[in-house]
Amino acid sequence: MSRQFWSEGLAWATASGTAIAASTTETILFPNVTIPANYMQDGRVLRLRAFGGYGTTATPTLTIAVRWGGVTGTVLSKSAAATLSTGAGGGASMTALWDLEVYIQTRVNGSAGSLFTCGNATVYITAPTAGTVTAYGMPLVLASGSTGGTTPVAVTADLTADTALAVTALWGTNNAANSIQGHLFTVESIN
């Protein structure tokens, strides 16, 4: 039986985010999206999709996370710190690509709600070449909880207040050539 739910777009980027470079501070890739109070009812699923470019020098690590409550909020999911290949993307020119798809499901609503999140990010480790299929990707698993993508667990969150939803990146090495930027971003409710 249908519960008469429908998919709807909740938020989308209309401009590229600010590039994160020469920093080892976790920073948002796009402006936060505000999820309205009590929107996350039992079973509700949000799908986040994001795409962008990056460049590196040497072999830095990169961690991508999704947080409830902004950049300092509760970690809904995050990747392990992935070591990128030397010179991926040709330095700060950001000619290599990355993408992200994450699902957030409400297991229990309320002030002590429960969210379960899973998804993946792919960091392409070679620059694309027109007319060829040569962009090899390195997948980053984003599992629910703050364990770095190894043990999925539900996360407790207050779902009764307007809350910022953030996608963040963290470089392990401070270098101006280590730069990541988001270009496209959507958040949709799929039910």
Tokens 């690509």, residue located: 97
* Mean of pLDDT values over 70-90: 79
Is residue 2 in some structural domain?
Answer: no
Confidence at residue 135, expressed as pLDDT on a 0 to 100 scale: 53
Q: Tell me how far CA of residue 143 lies from CA of 106, 110, 146, in angstroms.
A: 15, 22, 8
| Dist. CA 92–CA 40, nearest whole Å | 39
Quote the CA–CA distance of 67 and 157 in Å, as a whole number. 10
Residue 143 within a domain:
yes
Q: Which spans in the chain are helix H?
A: none
pLDDT at res. 92? 44
Main-chain phi, psi angles of 78, to 5 degrees:
-155, 160
Say which residues have a Cβ less than 8 Å from residue 30's Cβ, sequence separation at least 6: 13, 17, 50, 167, 182, 185
Does residue 136 carry a pLDDT above 70? no
Please say if the pLDDT value at position 130 is more than 70: no
Closest to 169 (Cα-Cα) out of 30, 49, 22, 27: 27
Half-sphere exposure of 112 (CA within 13 A, CB side): 0
Task: Say if 1 falls within a structural domain.
Answer: no
For residue 18, what are the domain limits?
8-189
Q: How many domains does the chain have?
A: 1
Residue 184 falls inside a structural domain = yes
- Domain membership of residue 70 (yes or no) is yes
Query: Is the per-residue pLDDT at 157 higher than 70?
Result: yes
pLDDT-derived band of residue 1, with 50, 70 and 90 as boundaries? Answer: very low
125: confidence class by pLDDT, cuts 50, 70, 90: confident
Of 191, 190, 187, 7, residue with least CA distance to 101: 187
| More reliable by pLDDT, 147 or 1 | 147
**Predicted local distance difference test score (pLDDT) of residue 75:** 92
Q: So what's the pLDDT on residue 34?
A: 96
Q: Strand, helix or coil at 164?
A: strand
pLDDT at residue 15 above 90?
yes
Distance CA 91, CA 35 (A): 36
* Distance linking the first and last C-alpha atoms of the chain: 14
The pLDDT of 44-54, averaged and rounded, is 95
The answer on pLDDT for 14 being more than 90 is yes
Whether residue 127 is contained in a domain is answered as yes
Using pLDDT thresholds of 50, 70 and 90, give the confidence band for residue 79: confident
